[in-house]
Structure 1
Amino acid sequence: MGTLDGKVALVTGASRGVGKGIALGLGEQGATVYVTGRAEAGGTPTTPFAGTVQETAEEVTALGGRGVAIVCDHRDDEQTRNAVARMVAETGRLDVLVNNVWGGYEHFWDGTEFWLERGFWTVPVDRWDSMFQAGVRAHYVTSVAAAPTMVAQGSGLIVNVSSDAAGKDDAGVSYGVAKAATDRMVACMGHELREHGVAAVSLYPGLVRTESVLRAGVFDLSDSESPQFIGRAVAALAADPDVMRFTGHVVRSAELGRQYGFTDPHPPRGPSDGP
């Protein structure tokens, strides 16, 4: 039996990348995992990368959990609220919410000379809008929709996938500010949810071998993490009866691995992690 048998989770932005890895990490522990994203089977591709919410849900089920796909564009508040309402109507509970969906990464595939940009004044302004609408706002709106169920249960875990860019001056203005806002959101949510037995944390992965990172081809991946390693970090938190000790704070995937004793199912093979 998995440590999360009977638990229900929602992972946003789970067609691929970190979100998919988190869904799989929860699924291998027996959770029912609802996965959202814009990429759907038979639909118009949203990026150059493969992956759909249906495929992620199928892999969750194959690992021993139960995967359920919901096509959702989290830039649309109504779609977000409807996705959460459907899940609660079907299961009657919500134990884990992972806010992973994010915007502003279009430069990895839209032809922008990202690596030549020097200074925030050279960056398209709409990248700021993408990070705050499809990232920070989406995290907030999904949490607003999910919190009443968790509060009524007297338990739950909200995880905002964030980054140590929140504390770095050289992370890029849009990215750094958006991630700092994500962390402050967690600190304030943690304060308000504590009395209800609901935890909120910011999770810092290391360098993760997502499709975008691999395509960029400029990173040293020798100390990187697989997406499913991040999933195991979330699963460990969700199974911890003392998870409230982390509420309102930042936690790091590598440190959680040391504390809880889980390992990366797909460790890096070398600096490029090539085939």
Structure 2
Amino acid sequence: MSKALDGRVALVAGGTRGGGRAIAVELGRAGATVYVTGRTTRGHRSEMGRPETIEETAELVAEAGGTAIAVRVDHLVPDEVRALIERIDAEQGRLDVLVNDVWGGDVYLEFGRRLWEHPLDEGLRMLRLGIDTHAITSHFALPLVIRDPGGLVVEMTDGTAEFNAAYRADAGFFYDLVKVSVQRMALAQAEELKPFGGTAVAVTPGWLRSEAMLDLFGVTEDNWRDATAAQPHFCISESPAYVGRAVAALAADPRVARWSGQTLSSGHLAGVYDFTDTDGTRPDFWRYAPEVQYAGRPADDTGYR
């Protein structure tokens, strides 16, 4: 897929870290000019309190041979998003790929709490961060996306449509609502973009080895398997590059419209587009999770990579 996206312009909204960062890198590696947005810069941290910055993401895109422009944007502020899209229009005259990856609600997650037990202000903040940001960004970005046929919108979620058909009681009401809503947003945008030759999909990684997840287990990407001593099912985890490659493959596919409105996983797309994770394997978490982890079977990724 070397430089398959030459001449294309992408916006990764929420590209500071994790999957968003990797998506920006892989889109840039494939030749796209990538605008990377988020709230954390070298001079300012968001409420997430994480050290990763949008400038670092842009540097990683450059190291991969791509071009990136880092812009600090709070996607809950319409004027900031409007200004961002106006800047992309003025500088590029087009927007081919919009990746809505804004989240930032992990700091408010309280596993095992019911709706009435979860602090209301924190729950509502999760909805604002995970839903409103995507709607605001698409509101301003879609007129530029549809200027040329073939535009693609990627709504980043957590969980396949089949998995999320059941209530995710472990994560709770607000998290469940955010991730299912994002899938519905992809379906809605697919319908609205269709007359203009555009496509919208939702994409989910599996168990993502984000910077925060690695820190949680006290490991690095180099020795991540050490974390299986504490959580054996972490054996099925995947690097952020895996979902980055999934989105880059979608963006480069001239037949991407066949997926419009669907929720797609990195593991599924790896088989379709013939890419692997950084270790050469193809982890399929969303097949593993119901068949092994939630079925109470011993951790064993044999046959799931």
Q: 1:242 to 1:181 in 2, by over 3 A?
A: same
The yes-or-no answer on 1:131 pairing with 2:138 is: no
Unaligned runs of 5+ in 1: 109-113
Provide Cα deviations, 1:138-190, integer angstroms capped at 9, x if missing partner.
Answer: 11111111111122212210000012264231241111111111111111111
- Name 2:284's counterpart in structure 1: none
Deviation at 1:266, TM superposition (A): 5.1
Q: How do 1:229-244 residues align onto structure 2 when only pairs under 5 Å count? A: 229-244=242-257
- Name 2:145's counterpart in structure 1: 150
Larger Rg: 2
Question: Does the 8 Å contact 1:162/1:179 carry over to 2?
Answer: yes
The number of aligned residues is 263
* Identity level (%): 40
Question: Does the 8 Å contact 1:25/1:230 carry over to 2?
Answer: no
Unaligned runs of 5+ in 2: 218-229, 282-298, 300-305
Question: Does the 8 Å contact 2:48/2:104 carry over to 1?
Answer: no
Q: Secondary structure at the match of 1:130?
A: helix
Q: Distance in 1 between matches of 2:241 and 2:121?
A: 31
- Name 1:14's counterpart in structure 2: 15
Deviation at 1:42, TM superposition (A): 2.6
Question: Does the 8 Å contact 2:76/2:136 carry over to 1?
Answer: no
Deviation at 1:120, TM superposition (A): 2.4
Q: Distance in 1 between matches of 2:70 and 2:64?
A: 15
Q: Which amino acid aligns with 1:231?
A: G
Provide Cα deviations, 1:85-127, integer angstroms capped at 9, x if missing partner.
Answer: 211211111010000011321147xxxxx35x43222212123
CA RMSD of aligned residues (A): 1.9
The yes-or-no answer on 1:174 pairing with 2:174 is: yes
- Alignment TM-score, normalising by the size of structure 2: 0.81
- Name 2:275's counterpart in structure 1: 262
Q: Which amino acid aligns with 1:194?
A: K
Deviation at 1:25, TM superposition (A): 1.3
Q: Secondary structure at the match of 1:19?
A: helix
Q: 1:163 to 1:47 in 2, by over 3 A?
A: closer
- Name 1:199's counterpart in structure 2: 199
- Name 1:248's counterpart in structure 2: 261
Question: Does the 8 Å contact 1:158/1:199 carry over to 2?
Answer: yes
Deviation at 1:70, TM superposition (A): 0.2
Q: Distance in 2 between matches of 1:173 and 1:46?
A: 21
- Name 2:3's counterpart in structure 1: 2
- Name 1:111's counterpart in structure 2: none
Q: Distance in 1 between matches of 2:67 and 2:3?
A: 12
